Amino acid sequence: MILHLRPIVFCVLVLGLFGCAKDVPTPTAVPTSASSATATPEVLALETAVPPTPTFVPIQTPALTPTPAYPPYDGPVLNRSDIGVQVYLHRVDVPALIAQLKELDVGWVKVQVSWKLYQPYPDQYSEERFADLDALVTQANAAGLRVMLGVAKAPEWSRPTTELDGPPVDYDLYRQFLRLLAQRYQGQVAAYELWNEPNLQREWNGVPLDAAALVELIRAGAEGVRAGDPAALLISGAPAVTGINDGMTAVDDRVYFRGMLAAGVAEVVDGFGVHPYGWANPPDATFANPDTAVPTHNNHPSFFFQDTLHDSHELLDEFGAADKQLWVTEFGWGSFEAFGQGPPAGAEFMNNVSEWQQATYTQRAFALAHDWPWVGPMMLWNLNFAPWLGPEFSESGYSLLRPDGSPRPSFFAVADLPKQ
């Protein structure tokens, strides 16, 4: 997700691959995806603080008025099995969460399993974290929802450094943890995403950024899942779209994905994770044809939803892997409208997205991808981070719910999409 150091001003990618037709600004902070926040004090608070309990607001589709509560939709009928949303889970009222997912009428729910929080010591697992996950998996299956787990962030005891996040020294530990998860949730978790945004130092600290090394870690994780649940789908961890390609802070996502494919990731997984964030650019905009009303993050393909997907698909063609789909394991548009304050530093681009635009862009993105058979399920980032984290976190700008728990236009826009 667009993790802000966020934004890392994802000028991304393709510096090495495609080159820039315009000058690429030198970022002063690393915008990352919203889901990849890690070891800063702010991120530490996100993962360890006891969240306040928001008042649950029952979701009711509003009666139509002369000024609709959400934008109309005139696109194709979508497949429910291609639509999902990521949720914040820790200490959440799971039945209420499931009710919101049912109201959205989605086919998937995704949770990121922060390995370090589930196994804080070599011989100890967090009963509380697993109780949360057990409840979600059980109730999601009962409600007809497919579950995806993204598994990343090695425990501190397994790493060469405790700074930021990164892989374990011994990849067999990842294999063992994935086997434990797959055995525990055999037949209940449909898919596993193996790691998250590994082209960022904050997610791969302690060792050099290396796509081939990531593929070896994915291979170990895949062996663990296959041993515990051979029927589960395996998705490669998605690189972050970022404006840095210095090889230290970040590697351009297209360059990194090319390295993954060259290292044989297609032989290991069933699909490929991708994070096509649009920043403030509409989903129909492209680098070659940008929306002139968007004042920033418009001078490189990495800032555009369509460009990221099309460029990634071209790489699959190049490596003979186009028989497998791109899975959009995170995407969305952030807006701080109606939050009572502006976005945190690094996420100022969200000032250029209204709640109405957020809803419209989300609808349009689902409609566009529906016509691209090489795109698989799309997991919207996110449902409920705002009520649990508050407006101090940039992740909250992507939420379908406001900090007070009330639904945004984007909530109703997703719920109203025609699905089959």
pLDDT tens per residue across span 336-364: 999 999 999 999 999 999 999 999 999 99
Using pLDDT thresholds of 50, 70 and 90, give the confidence band for residue 11.
very low
- At 68 the pLDDT is 74
Q: Which residues contact 307 (CB under 8 A, 6 or more apart)?
A: 286, 287, 301
**Average pLDDT in the 303-328 region?**
98
Give the CA-trace dihedral at 284, 297, 354, 275, to 10 degrees: 60
Residue with tokens 């804080």: 120
- Domain-embedded: residue 211: yes
Range of 205's domain?
A: 2-49+81-415
- Domain-embedded: residue 76: no
Q: Which residues contact 322 (CB under 8 A, 6 or more apart)?
A: 313, 316, 374
- At 245 the pLDDT is 95
State how far the Cα of 70 lies from the Cα of 355, in Å rounded to an integer.
9
- Domain-embedded: residue 62: no
Using pLDDT thresholds of 50, 70 and 90, give the confidence band for residue 63.
very low
Indicate whether 217 pLDDT > 90: yes
Using pLDDT thresholds of 50, 70 and 90, give the confidence band for residue 411.
very high
Cα 84 to Cα 52, 97, 106, 186, 243, distances in angstroms: 25, 14, 5, 20, 27
- At 62 the pLDDT is 37
State how far the Cα of 318 lies from the Cα of 312, in Å rounded to an integer.
10
Q: How many domains, in total, are found in the chain?
A: 1
**Average pLDDT in the 149-170 region?**
98
CATH of the domain at 26: 3.20.20.80
State how far the Cα of 408 lies from the Cα of 400, in Å rounded to an integer.
6
Contact 393, 376 (CB under 8 A): no
- Domain-embedded: residue 300: yes
Instruction: Please tell me which of 52-56, 62-66, 287-291 the model is most confident about, judged by mean pLDDT.
Output: 287-291
**289: amino acid identity, one letter:** N
Helix (H) or strand (E) holding 355: helix 355-370
Cα 187 to Cα 136, 191, 218, 231, 233, distances in angstroms: 14, 10, 21, 7, 11
Q: Map 297-336 to HEC letters.
A: CCCCHHHCHHHHHHHHHHHHHHCCCCCCEEEEEEECCCCC
> Cβ of 341: how many Cβ atoms within 10 Å?
10
150: helix, strand or coil: strand
Q: Does the bond joining 382 to the residue before it have cis omega, within 30 degrees of 0?
A: yes
Indicate whether 158 pLDDT > 50: yes
- Identify which of 105, 91, 92 has the alpha carbon closest to the alpha carbon of residue 59: 105
Indicate whether 294 pLDDT > 70: yes
Q: Give residue-wise pLDDT tens across range 88-99.
A: 999 999 999 999
State how far the Cα of 270 lies from the Cα of 254, in Å rounded to an integer.
19
- At 38 the pLDDT is 35
**In which region does residue 346 sit, left (phi positive, over 0), alpha (psi from -120 to 50) or beta (all else)?**
left
Token couple for 207: 């060792």
Helix (H) or strand (E) holding 149: strand 146-152
360: helix, strand or coil: helix
State how far the Cα of 338 lies from the Cα of 138, in Å rounded to an integer.
34
Helix (H) or strand (E) holding 103: helix 94-104
State how far the Cα of 79 lies from the Cα of 269, in Å rounded to an integer.
23
Indicate whether 241 pLDDT > 80: yes
First to last CA, the chain: 28
- Domain-embedded: residue 215: yes
- At 297 the pLDDT is 93
Contact 149, 86 (CB under 8 A): no
Which 8-state DSSP code applies to residue 191?
A: E
Indicate whether 6 pLDDT > 60: no
State how far the Cα of 396 lies from the Cα of 335, in Å rounded to an integer.
9
- Domain-embedded: residue 64: no
Contact 71, 408 (CB under 8 A): no
- At 331 the pLDDT is 98
- Domain-embedded: residue 238: yes
Which 8-state DSSP code applies to residue 293?
A: T
Indicate whether 139 pLDDT > 80: yes
